[in-house]
Amino acid sequence: RRELSADAAVGAASDSIPNFSGEWAMDLKASDSLLPILSALGMNLVLRQLVSRLKVKQQIKQDESEINVVVKTSVKNDAFSLSLEGKPTMVTSLGGTLTEAISRWEGPKGGGGAR
């Protein structure tokens, strides 16, 4: 579970998907640990401990077909874009390799979830 607290209002008309545009900060206390994911990516214990404690902020810009995300930490910033229409997109994983990501909104518009 990832819980984010929004600095900007997240809202959408009932006939469209939610718009997540705005500034977001991850609530580390309310979030599941990243340690299992980082371990599966092959990170050593010291690096896993460091990464799992980093404060994370995100700047999100979204339109009907794409979401653009800038992830900011005190160590580095990353940016990626995802199609919301199910089109494959290449993104760099935490391990530094290129990975194909497919994103689309599922369920009734204004509900459901991202996958």
Structure-block tokens of residue 2: 């990832």
Which residue is it, tokens 């460091």? 50
Q: What is the mean pLDDT of the chain?
A: 79
Quickly count: other Cβ atoms within 10 Å of residue 20's Cβ.
Answer: 19
Dist CA 65 CA 19 (whole Å): 11
Domain of 107: which CATH number? 2.40.128.20
At 39, the pLDDT band (50, 70, 90 cuts) reads confident
The domain total for the chain is 1
27: CB partners within 8 A, 6+ apart: 3, 4, 5
**71-96 confidence digits (pLDDT tens):** 999 888 889 899 888 899 888 876 67
Report whether 88 contacts 77 (CB < 8 A): no
Give Cα 66 to chain centroid, integer Å: 13
Domain of 102 in residue numbering reads as 4-114
- pLDDT at residue 18 greater than cutoff 50: yes
- pLDDT at residue 7 greater than cutoff 90: no
Dist CA 53 CA 26 (whole Å): 11
